[in-house]
Amino acid sequence: MAKHHIEVSALVEKSYDVAKKAQSHTHSPYSNFPVGACIKFIGDDQLYGGCNVENASYGATICAERTALVSAVAAKGKQNIEFLTVIANTKGATYPCALCLQVLAEFCDKDFPVYIANAEGILKQMSFRDFLPHSFDSLYDI
């Protein structure tokens, strides 16, 4: 069992395990930076894992957060995210990139929790809004 730095529910603990397992399937030969993620939709008992999948054409690389989201959407369609867990093999915290945050923004309430973890356990819980307070929105008043 992981030694978390914060108190988490059994479900968040399970999401850590799903993200860690997904991380073990990463394809990251270029960066050697394996990342795993887990998404839970509101009202859905399933946890959806994802890992980063790199490509020699770096722009074609897909981050773990987006592969988890794609897996979840493929299984359930568009839903709202209840929480996200991200794990990387770092001493400190590793955060989602801006591209992932923008993609996730279409699937969430801006205050949903994001759990940041490393191999030791979950380090902290943050709000999605902490990462991307002003996402791009196609519904601007003109």
Residue 140 lies in a domain: no
Q: Which of 7, 54, 65, 82 is catalytic?
A: 65
Give the CATH number, domain containing residue 45: 3.40.140.10
Instruction: Determine which helix (DSSP H) or strand (DSSP E) holds 50, and give its type and residue range.
Output: strand 47-51
Residue 18 lies in a domain: yes
pLDDT tens for 65-97 read: 999 999 999 999 999 999 999 999 999 999 999
Residue 21 lies in a domain: yes
| pLDDT of amino acid 2 | 78
Residue 2 lies in a domain: no
* Count: domains in the chain: 1
Residue 94 lies in a domain: yes
Residue 30 lies in a domain: yes
| pLDDT of amino acid 4 | 85
Domain of 115 in residue numbering reads as 10-129
The span from the CA of 101 to the CA of 66, in Å, is 9
The span from the CA of 94 to the CA of 116, in Å, is 7
What SS3 class is residue 123?
A: strand
Question: Given pLDDT bands bounded at 50, 70 and 90, which one contains residue 56?
Answer: very high
pTM score, whole prediction: 0.93
The span from the CA of 43 to the CA of 57, in Å, is 37
Strands 81-88 and 35-41 turn out to be antiparallel
Residue 48 lies in a domain: yes
State the number of CA atoms in the 13 A half-sphere of 55 facing the CB.
7
**Residue 76 region, left (φ>0) first, then alpha (ψ -120 to 50), else beta?**
alpha
Residue 65 lies in a domain: yes
Active-site residue 65, yes or no?
yes
